[in-house]
Copies of this chain bind each other. A is one copy, B any other.
Amino acid sequence: MLDTFVVTVTPPEILNLPMGFSCHVSNVGVKDGSRDFTVVASDAPCSAAGVFTRSRFAGPSVEISRRHVADGSARAVVVVSKNANVANGARGRADAEELVSGVALRLGVATQEVLLASTGVIGRPYPMDRIRAGIAGLPVPLPGHDAIDVARGIMTTDTVHKIAATDIAGSRARIVGVAKGVGMIEPDMATLIALIFTDAAIEPPDLDAVFRRVIDATLNCVSVDTDTSTSDTAVILASGAAGTVAIDAFETALHGVLLDLTKKIARDGEGAETLVEVRVDRALDRAQAKTVAKAIVNSPLVKTAIHGADPNWGRVAMAIGKCSDHDDIDQDDVVIRFGDQEVYPKQIDAAGLASLSRYMAGDEVLVHVSLGTGDASATVWGCDLTDGYVRINADYTT
């Protein structure tokens, strides 16, 4: 019943990065013995684009990547997991600069060709001695090609790794994307970390425009907990090794990959047991549709009702009602459905309720609202609010 446009990817044991890319994933001891240091590099310069958090507490990794991707070109991306290196002042900035130049030197590329993303605890400096040792031990050229390794390397508290891949129609080119993120997820420009690689040849301005358009309809439409990370980073690198592609086909393929990653992030939200899709249509414009959809997907009362498998449309009405700046919304024109079952204004009968109860107990729930103020629509994704979310975040110690 959810949006059926998903690139179906059942990852095999190994899924190669697109042509031109190689990788190395290791543990350097950032926090414990798990993988925490991931490098992906390209044989040749890539077109590149990046979209980042708008947080006023953005970390140095975001500042550096934003600066280095500004010329539309990059050669490598480094991800440090288990430590965000955020709010560490001058020391944090110096550490991040040293890390990026160290990797660039080791790879034999210019410092400004290296992007950095960092995720984990806030306010604790990097263990630079261990990171320096990790950089010195980086095998060059990078020996790996397995994107699943990269997806696993960037995980923090994710319960599953998140990867999506597709071919681009009418070409030999592919897109492979990996992402991480389970909490502090209401991206304003991108999600916590998403790395997208393609061997399509595409010019930087086209890459940037397509990337931003697609992110606006995918990663920017997910919310786990209304909290926006200080470290949101989504970058795409296009090696060109597989030749040119039609822009339309590229955008369709990229949309499929990012939509798949978006749903995987929502489904793996901290403590989540149910993927929630909220579709708002018959709205004045896309902005109104998205505002109302976000109000519903972010309402703790709607999220707990879905956790309790309760078709409590009164809470959906409440969440719509919260959008009080939109005084064209008239409660007598609104229609609310769970799945395809209308629950307001037409009340549900006993037979419908039995069937709806089974639907609500499933692992995907669609809330579908028609506002009656126009013809625009938007879809957003989130998850239920569970005891697990509270336990994970009350017990996580700084």
Q: What residues make up the interface of A, taking CB atoms closer than 8 Å to B?
A: 53-58, 84, 86-87, 89, 121-123, 183-184, 188, 225-230, 298-301, 304-305, 307-308, 310-315, 317-324, 326-327, 329-332, 344-345, 347, 385-387, 389-398
Contact = CB atoms under 8 A, between A and B. Distances in A.
A360 to B, nearest CB: 11
Contacts of A228: 318, 321-322, 324
A320 B56 contact: yes
Contacts of A58: 321
A272 to B, nearest CB: 12
Contact of A391 (B299, B347, B387): B387
Given A230-B318, A311-B398, 6 more contacts: A53-B321, A87-B314, A87-B317, A87-B345, A305-B398, A308-B396
B56 A304 contact: no
B226 A393 contact: no
Given A313-B123, A332-B89, A389-B304, A55 B321 contact: yes
Most buried by B among A227, A230, A323: A227
Contacts of A314: 84, 86-87, 121-123, 398
A372 to B, nearest CB: 12
A310 B56 contact: no
Given A226-B299, A390-B307, A393-B305, A345 B89 contact: yes
A106 to B, nearest CB: 30
A190 to B, nearest CB: 13
Nearest to A345: B89
Nearest to A314: B122
B318 A122 contact: yes
10 contacts: A57-B317, A57-B321, A123-B314, A226-B226, A226-B300, A227-B301, A230-B318, A300-B393, A304-B394, A308-B396
A393 B301 contact: yes
A324 B56 contact: yes
A40 B233 CA distance: 58
A323 B390 contact: no
A194 to B, nearest CB: 19
Contacts of A391: 387
